[in-house]
């Protein structure tokens, strides 16, 4: 009965039961048992899988949520990895990303120079300002490309943002709509709160980056920062962060990023 690490973290006020409903729906009708097996030290969800359709289920879970690599042997230089922003290795000039490997974690770091090159066309925007403008906060999902061989889990590994991650930010800016990033709530709770606060006329839709990470797409003319006090009253355990294309364009410009 293998125990696998799903590329989702458990935090905030969400319970394991909320996740179980998601992955049990994904494997409905198959001969398999799927059980929540706890979390890693960093909060990554562990799931135990057994039964005749075990192989099929693992494939489905990988497609639906993503599964962590089993070991470092699966990785090589320039591998793509998915993780979450992590402040446990907070630095004044590096972005830290927590990536699960088996039941342990790999700390991946992106240098200030790389971030400036990829997000600011090399302009000397202060590191803290880049973090603020692009909402590079704890638990935000990231995809990175490692740029060096990994020898062990005890050392930080250098990386850059992946082409897909850069493209996501570029699209957010290109369409000029404010976005409110919500971390630590289920999408059903976010949408219910928007409706109960009568904010539907200010919102186009809610997009999910993960089970607990979502982006509220604002209508043209609606400032994301203005939604924070209204939604924050009810989503008390969530972190709300505004993403403003106008501010980024004003400080950096609208040119395509370096992927």
Q: What are the pLDDT digits (tens) for 226-247? A: 999 999 999 999 999 999 999 9
d(CA 136, CA 71): 27
pLDDT tens digit string along 134-163?
999 999 999 999 998 888 888 889 999 999
Backbone angles phi, psi at 257, to 5 degrees: -80, 165
89 within some domain: yes
Of all residues in the chain, what percent carry a pLDDT higher than 70? 95
Domain finish residue from 162, 190, 219 = 162
Please check whether residue 223 is in contact with residue 185, taking contact to mean a CB–CB distance below 8 angstroms.
Answer: no
Q: Which residues contact 132 (CB under 8 A, 6 or more apart)?
A: none
Q: What is the band of 89 on the pLDDT scale with cuts at 50, 70, 90?
A: low
* Residue 255: pLDDT band with limits 50, 70, 90: low
Q: Is residue 20 part of a domain?
A: yes
Per residue in 7-42, pLDDT (tens digit) is 999 998 888 988 888 878 878 888 888 889 999 999
In a domain, 9, yes or no: yes
Q: What is the pTM of this model?
A: 0.91
11 and 34 both lie in a single domain: yes
Confidence of residue 104 (pLDDT cuts 50, 70, 90): very high
pLDDT at 75: 87
Over the Cα atoms of the chain, what is R_g? 19
The burial of 247, by beta-carbon neighbours within 10 Å (0-12 exposed, 13-18 middle, 19 or more buried), is given as middle
Does residue 119 lie in a domain region? yes
CATH code: domain of residue 94: 2.40.50.140
Residues with Cβ within 8 Å of 6's Cβ and at least 6 positions away in sequence, in order, are 23, 44, 45, 46, 47, 61, 65, 66, 67, 68
Note whether 55 and 92 are same-domain residues: no
pLDDT value at residue 68: 96
Q: Are residues 60 and 76 located together in one domain of the fold?
A: no
**Looking at the 3D structure of the chain, how many domains does it have?**
3
Judge whether 195 lies within some domain.
yes
Report yes or no on 126 lying in a domain: yes
Query: What percentage of the chain carries pLDDT values higher than 90?
Result: 74
Q: Is residue 78 part of a domain?
A: yes
Full residue range of the structural domain in which residue 214 is found: 179-243
Residue with tokens 């048992």: 33
């Amino acid at each position: 009965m293998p125990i696998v690490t799903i590329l989702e973290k458990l935090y905030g006020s969400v319970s394991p039961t909320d996740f179980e409903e998601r992955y049990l729906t994904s494997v409905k009708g198959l001969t398999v048992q799927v059980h929540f097996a706890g979390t890693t030290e960093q909060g990554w969800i562990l799931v135990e899988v057994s039964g005749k359709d075990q192989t099929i289920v693992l494939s489905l879970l990988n497609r639906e949520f993503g599964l962590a690599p089993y070991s470092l042997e699966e990785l090589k230089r320039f591998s793509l990895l998915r993780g979450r922003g992590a402040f446990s290795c907070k630095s004044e000039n590096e972005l830290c990303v927590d990536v699960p490997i088996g039941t342990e974690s790999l700390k991946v770091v992106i240098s200030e120079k790389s971030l400036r090159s990829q997000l600011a066309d090399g302009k000397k925007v202060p590191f803290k300002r880049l973090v603020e403008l692009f909402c590079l906060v704890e638990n935000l999902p990231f995809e990175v490309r490692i740029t060096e061989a990994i020898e062990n889990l005890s050392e930080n590994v250098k990386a850059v943002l992946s082409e897909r991650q850069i493209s996501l930010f570029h699209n957010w800016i290109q369409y000029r709509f404010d976005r409110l990033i919500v971390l630590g709530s289920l999408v059903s709770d976010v949408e219910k709160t928007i409706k109960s606060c009568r904010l539907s006329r200010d919102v186009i839709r809610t997009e999910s980056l993960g089970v607990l990470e979502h982006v509220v797409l604002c209508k043209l003319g609606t400032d994301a920062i203005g939604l924070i006090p209204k939604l924050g009253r009810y989503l008390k355990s969530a972190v709300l962060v505004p993403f403003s294309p106008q501010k980024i364009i004003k400080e950096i410009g609208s040119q395509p990023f370096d992927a």
